[in-house]
């Protein structure tokens, strides 16, 4: 099993779910987590409050919402659910609505699930894989597709203190979910450019980002989180589709004027 399929139980994969609105869609994703013993109903409520307070930044790509909240006592163990909606519903996102897939994460801390998020980001950023996942007719078929995701080569770690070393922050409301998606997409682009030794990427939350901004050359985030951050003294770049290497490539070129 991969890191991703270890966290995603077959009984937490639900296809053709009827949801009248975005709150009901998140409740369905949260209930799947409750049913497999990952979290309590309180965590489901926390995921909904996250959107109410921070806006629909969890809609990280066209048709895809990544529901989550901060680690809390309501999380019993780290796990995920996968809810494909029978009919897409709007979350209020300017460009990525309506949502047909809700993937929910409950995490006990901010680091244990990073490998699984990297695998999920790779799967959803691959158009052929994403289309196959969308057509999967059962939990077994969907998990088999995710199981086929191979881990990439280990990235080189930039030398601490090197004069040419830069840092870019990817930011979301909680620092445990959507920012990791964007981090992995950005790292794929940096690998392709051959810049991995010179630029590191750190996923973090809005509060921490304000304190860390002075260490970074730029911040990449959603439109909603950019509004929350305000002026932090470094360029804040907006990415609409966190799974799009092409869009991130364009943003990175704009950041470095290349």
Q: Which of 68, 86, 165, 166 is catalytic?
A: 68
Tokens for 154?
């280990």
68 tagged catalytic: yes
**CA separation for the pair 40, 33 (Å, rounded):** 8
Closest among 29, 256, 44, 253 to 164, alpha carbons compared? 256
Cα→Cα distances 177→60, 182, 183, 184, 221, Å: 10, 9, 10, 11, 12
Contact between 26 and 102 under an 8 Å Cβ cutoff? The reply is yes
Q: Look up residue 215 and give its DSSP letter.
A: G
Contact between 68 and 62 under an 8 Å Cβ cutoff? The reply is no
Using left for φ > 0, alpha for ψ between -120 and 50, and beta otherwise, residue 110 falls in: alpha
User: Cis before residue 98, ω within 30 degrees of 0?
Assistant: yes
Return the active site residues: 68
């Amino acid at each position: 099993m991969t890191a991703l399929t270890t966290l995603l139980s077959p009984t937490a994969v639900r296809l053709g779910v009827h949801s009248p609105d975005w709150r009901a869609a998140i409740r369905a994703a949260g209930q799947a987590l409750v049913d497999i013993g990952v979290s309590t109903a309180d965590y489901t409520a926390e995921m909904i409050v996250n959107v109410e307070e921070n806006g629909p930044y969890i809609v990280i790509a066209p048709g895809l919402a990544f529901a989550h909240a901060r680690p809390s006592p309501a999380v019993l163990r780290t796990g995920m659910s996968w809810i494909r909606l029978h009919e897409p519903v709007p979350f209020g996102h300017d460009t990525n609505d309506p949502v047909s897939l809700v993937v929910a994460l409950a995490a006990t801390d901010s680091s244990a699930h990073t490998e699984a998020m990297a695998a999920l980001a790779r799967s959803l950023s691959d158009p052929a894989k994403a289309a196959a996942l969308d057509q999967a007719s059962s939990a077994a078929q969907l998990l088999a597709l995710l199981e086929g995701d191979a881990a990439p080569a280990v990235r080189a770690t930039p030398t601490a203190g090197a004069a040419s070393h830069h840092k870019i922050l990817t930011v979301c409301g909680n620092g445990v979910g959507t920012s990791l998606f964007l981090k992995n997409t950005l790292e794929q682009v940096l690998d392709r450019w051959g810049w991995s030794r010179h630029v590191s990427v750190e996923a973090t939350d809005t509060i921490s980002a304000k304190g860390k901004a002075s260490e970074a050359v730029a911040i990449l985030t959603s439109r909603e989180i950019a509004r929350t951050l305000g002026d932090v003294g470094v360029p804040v770049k907006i990415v609409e589709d966190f799974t799009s290497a092409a869009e991130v490539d364009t943003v990175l070129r704009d950041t470095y004027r290349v």
